Structure 1
Amino acid sequence: MSTQRYPDTPDGRYFVVRGRLWRKSNAALPEKDRAALVKQLMDARRALRGSPAQAQSDAAHAAVDQAKTALGERGPVWWTDGAPDYNRKMVKNTPYADWFAGLTATAD
């Protein structure tokens, strides 16, 4: 494997974890907005750890989803070239397969 633990695809849209693509945040987000959204996301995740009541848990899950959608990691894609979304797909079943195979071949 590459020396990078979670390699980014060449187009910067995804990173790979255990052979699966995960959509990255929108690279065009201003840093101030990104920082605020990441803070919201982390606050919501912390709320999930300490929320035994179902209503609190539901609200925390909704807050996580809202932050991830605002970051561009969920919902409509943030790129504008019409390329499909391969979020959560196995990289071997996508157009990134040859690129990823090349990473693993160079590590051997």
Structure 2
Amino acid sequence: MTAELDAPAKRLLDAANANDTDAFLAGFTADGVVDDWGREFRGAEAIRGWSDREFIGKQVSLAVEEVTRAGDETVVTAAVGGNGFNGPSHFTFSTDGDLVSRMTIRA
């Protein structure tokens, strides 16, 4: 059974699909981290640089296929499209209140 997507993860996915970098960054805590297959980008400036090069800057699209919950983490299986990486990925979101503290991307 697919769990419901929580608000912080939904906000980031919606911002990515709208190619809205500012809204995407606003969804993270001040010390938020993106872990993209083991490469970590911490804080808004580093996340923006990564996103401009590899995510929103590549017109990413994320089609959610499944959502599961494991404790305080939300795991989203999505089909990734756009002008960069294309294919299935798992996005794990850890939250701190209404914001994402960590987004981990894996196969």
What TM-score, normalized to structure 1?
A: 0.25
Which structure has more RCO (C-alpha within 8 Å, separation ≥ 6)?
Answer: 1
Task: Give the structure with the larger strand fraction.
Answer: 2
Report the TM-score when normalising by structure 2.
Answer: 0.26
